[in-house]
């Protein structure tokens, strides 16, 4: 009995697996860099540095395209975390730029990455609501909050796919809590503004009388 066929097959298999391991390690390393770019982009967004944020988002998108080519079909799972971050970053950037939220086709990401990324963006939108309220831009805060609610309603049905989109249900639960907290803040601010307006109107009505 000879093992020449087995030996050659094992040799080929070893080379293939060695190449796969090298690709996997490269994907993990480079995916972290894409995630870092997206995180920095979001920081720039919150600091109203939109040009810088857009440049980092573009770079992350370009780098991610290269990663997909390396990943192929067999290792695409190692690219998914960076896709999720890109979706989150792109959605927040679009909202901050008063642009339409990007589609999955535009971002060229997997369905699961798109759903999870949009869910993560709700947390960043909450921060934008708080920032705009502090700046006195209440109308803008209401628009952002409305976007949060709409996104949640659109994404809620995907909880049934939690077994194939790992983390979808948990992220939906978190998003619901974030929205309820933000709704409380919006309501409180609205009442405060109404009270201030009432006080201002009363002051104007009483001002002429005080001069008599």
Q: What is the maximum alpha-carbon separation in the chain?
A: 119
Q: What is the pLDDT of residues 142-163, one digit of tens each?
A: 999 999 999 999 999 999 999 9
Between helix 168-211 and helix 111-134 the angle, nearest 10°, is 20
CA 194/CA 211 separation, integer angstroms: 27
Phi, psi for residue 99 in degrees, rounded to 5: -105, 165
Whole-number pLDDT of residue 212:
45
Handedness of CA 177, 134, 38, 152 (dihedral sign): positive
Whole-number pLDDT of residue 190:
83
CA 88/CA 74 separation, integer angstroms: 25
Q: What is the pLDDT of residues 175-198, one digit of tens each?
A: 999 999 999 999 988 888 777 777
**Is the predicted pLDDT of residue 116 greater than 60, yes or no?**
yes
Instruction: Return the CA Rg of the chain.
Output: 25
Taking the CA atoms of residue 170, residue 111, residue 76 and residue 166 in that order, the dihedral angle to the nearest 10 degrees is 20
Whole-number pLDDT of residue 209:
54
Output the average pLDDT for the chain.
Answer: 91
Alpha helices in the chain (DSSP H): 4-46, 50-71, 80-96, 104-107, 111-134, 138-155, 168-211
What's the CATH code, domain 110-212?
A: 1.20.58.2140
């Amino acid at each position: 009995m000879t093992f020449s066929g087995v030996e050659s097959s094992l040799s080929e298999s070893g080379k293939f697996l060695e190449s796969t391991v090298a690709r996997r390690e490269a994907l993990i390393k480079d995916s972290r860099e894409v995630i870092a770019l997206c995180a920095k982009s979001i920081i720039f967004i919150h600091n109203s540095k939109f040009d810088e944020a857009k440049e980092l988002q573009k770079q992350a998108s370009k780098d991610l395209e290269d990663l997909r080519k390396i990943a192929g079909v067999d290792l695409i799972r190692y690219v998914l975390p960076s896709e999720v971050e890109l979706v989150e970053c792109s959605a927040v950037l679009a909202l901050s730029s008063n642009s339409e939220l990007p589609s999955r086709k535009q971002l060229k990401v997997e369905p699961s990455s798109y759903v999870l990324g949009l869910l993560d963006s709700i947390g960043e939108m909450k921060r934008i609501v708080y920032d705009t309220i502090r700046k006195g831009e209440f109308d803008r805060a209401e628009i952002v909050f409305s976007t949060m609610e709409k996104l949640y309603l659109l994404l809620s049905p995907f909880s049934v796919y939690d077994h194939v989109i790992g983390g979808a249900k948990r992220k939906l639960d978190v998003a619901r809590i974030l929205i309820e907290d933000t709704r409380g803040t919006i309501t409180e601010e609205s009442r405060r503004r109404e009270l201030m307006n009432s006080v201002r109107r009363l002051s104007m009505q009483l001002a002429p009388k005080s001069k008599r």
